[in-house]
Chains A and B, each alone.
Chain A
Amino acid sequence: KQEVTQIPAALSVPEGENLVLNCSFTDSAIYNLQWFRQDPGKGLTSLLLIQSSQREQTSGRLNASLDKSSGRSTLYIAASQPGDSATYLCAVRQGSARQLTFGSGTQLTVLP
């Protein structure tokens, strides 16, 4: 059964710093991987989707990479801002499955 892990559970950084969030998964036979952002008490917002054939995706200050063979993905946030404070979750979709398997998230705080 696929397991998705995100370490650390919480991270606090000063504004302006570049940072990396980690996601690891146990079964490399994934179809795609998606990064989400969740603000307190709200739903999830999709940030980036990486297909299994891709190595990375970029959107603005965000860059997500995927290394299937090692079972890892990273979300790089450049020049962090207080508005980036949120919980970031990664989720993988297994080969033929319809559902996603979610990690437990990393709670990011960017201090002004």
Chain B
Amino acid sequence: DVKVTQSSRYLVKRTGEKVFLECVQDMDHENMFWYRQDPGLGLRLIYFSYDVKMKEKGDIPEGYSVSREKKERFSLILESASTNQTSMYLCASRGNTDTQYFGPGTRLTVL
């Protein structure tokens, strides 16, 4: 069964903290994605990766970085968290079948 897991369902951090969101997939997928979802703004792509150590900016990369050291793991890093990064963060992966699979999401609150 296809599985994308995210390290936390809920996370509360302080302004200025460095935040790591982890995503792991067990399907040997090449492509992995990080989105944020906000009411009224829909899903917006932050970064994606199509191979180990490869990354591309999405629509809203400012304030974020990513890391993909192993094929199954894609990390999103908030270098210095700000209140406007309070959001639902969704990770996804996709392989050769073209179907995109999502994780359960991390609800991040920055105080």
A binding-site residues for B, Cβ under 8 Å: 31-32, 34, 36, 41-46, 49, 51, 89, 91, 93, 98-100, 102-105
Contact of A93 among B56, B98, B107 (CB under 8 A): B98
* B99/A46 in contact, CB under 8 A: yes
B binding-site residues for A, Cβ under 8 Å: 4, 31, 33, 42-43, 45, 48, 50, 56, 58, 88, 90, 92, 97-105, 107
In the bound assembly, the distance between CA atoms of A34 and B97 in angstroms comes to 12
* B58/A99 in contact, CB under 8 A: yes
With contact pairs A42-B105, A43-B90, A89-B43 given, residues A34 and B100 touching in the complex (Cβ less than 8 Å)? yes
In the bound assembly, the distance between CA atoms of A100 and B88 in angstroms comes to 18
Count A/B pairs, Cβ under 8 Å.
Answer: 46
Contacts of A102 in B (CB 8 A): 42-43
In the complex, given contacts A46-B101, A51-B98, what are 8 additional A-B residue pairs having Cβ atoms less than 8 angstroms apart?
A34-B99, A36-B102, A43-B103, A44-B90, A89-B43, A98-B56, A99-B45, A102-B43
With contact pairs A43-B90, A104-B42, A105-B42 given, residues A98 and B102 touching in the complex (Cβ less than 8 Å)? no
With contact pairs A98-B31, A104-B42 given, residues A43 and B99 touching in the complex (Cβ less than 8 Å)? no
With contact pairs A99-B48, A99-B58 given, residues A46 and B100 touching in the complex (Cβ less than 8 Å)? yes
In the bound assembly, the distance between CA atoms of A36 and B48 in angstroms comes to 19
With contact pairs A34-B99, A49-B99, A51-B98 given, residues A99 and B33 touching in the complex (Cβ less than 8 Å)? yes
